[in-house]
């Protein structure tokens, strides 16, 4: 469980869907919860946000401790904890109590954030190979200031490449999967979930780039 970096079948299996399915499961569970909430199947208490935020913080503290002490975060039990914590944080964005208005949701519904959300899958695919390429060519900087520069460079280049591949690869593929006679999907009306996903991706960029 804690040794998956060798050239063996155990390492290959650990990085398969069977060992990583929990990372998808939390997001899928939140999608089900969001659907039930949108259909009015349940209501949230008025002050649910602080409670969920505190739970997410408490769950993330062990991961932060490992990170601060130079430990490895890629092992499955840490991945599971991070995935669940991220799902709680995303719930703070996509769910709200009756009559509650979220300034964060209003911000994420702005066109620039929606646009970034649309290319979030390309961001997910591009950012890590780009970081390794920059490292291999000596194009990253050390230290706190270097972290800020690395983060900015990776974010800008990743975004540029993601816009390109979304336009040339992902969008044409999405259009091909549309059944005949169905109108094109209105990408301008996507919920801010996608923006939340790309926010998590940018956070990961900073972690790796540092």
pLDDT digits (tens, 9 = 90+) for 11-52: 788 778 887 788 889 989 999 999 999 898 988 887 888 889
Same domain, 74 and 150: no
Residue at which a domain ends, from 100, 135, 167: 100
Same domain, 107 and 205: yes
In the predicted structure, residue 196 carries a pLDDT above the cut 70: no
Domain total in the chain: 2
- Look up the domain containing 14 and give its range: 1-100
Write down the H helix ranges in 166-192: 171-177
Same domain, 65 and 118: no
Residue 95 backbone zone (phi > 0: left; psi -120 to 50: alpha; other: beta): beta
Q: Whole-model pTM above 0.75?
A: no
Instruction: Give the mean pLDDT of 110-129.
Output: 90
Same domain, 24 and 11: yes
Nearest to 89 by CA among 119, 120, 65, 54: 54
Same domain, 132 and 163: yes
Structure token digits, residue 56: 């997410």
């Amino acid at each position: 469980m804690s040794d998956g970096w060798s050239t063996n079948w155990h390492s290959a299996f650990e990085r398969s869907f069977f060992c990583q399915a929990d990372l998808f499961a939390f997001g899928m569970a939140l999608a089900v919860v969001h659907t039930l909430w949108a259909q009015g199947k349940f209501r949230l208490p008025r002050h649910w946000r602080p409670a969920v935020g505190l739970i997410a913080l408490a769950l993330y503290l062990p991961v932060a401790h490992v990170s601060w002490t130079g430990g490895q975060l890629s092992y499955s039990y840490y991945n599971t904890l991070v995935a669940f914590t991220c799902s709680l944080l995303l719930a703070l964005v996509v769910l709200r109590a009756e009559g509650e208005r979220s300034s964060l949701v209003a911000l994420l519904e702005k066109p620039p954030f929606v646009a970034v959300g649309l290319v979030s899958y390309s961001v997910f695919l591009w950012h890590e190979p780009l970081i390794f390429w920059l490292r291999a060519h000596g194009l990253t900087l050390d230290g706190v200031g270097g972290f800020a520069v690395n983060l900015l460079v990776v974010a800008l280049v990743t975004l540029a490449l993601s816009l390109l591949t979304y336009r040339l690869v992902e969008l044409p593929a999405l259009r091909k999967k549309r059944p005949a006679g169905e109108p094109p999907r209105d990408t301008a009306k996507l919920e801010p979930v996608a923006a939340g996903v790309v926010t998590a991706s940018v956070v990961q960029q900073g972690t790796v780039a540092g």
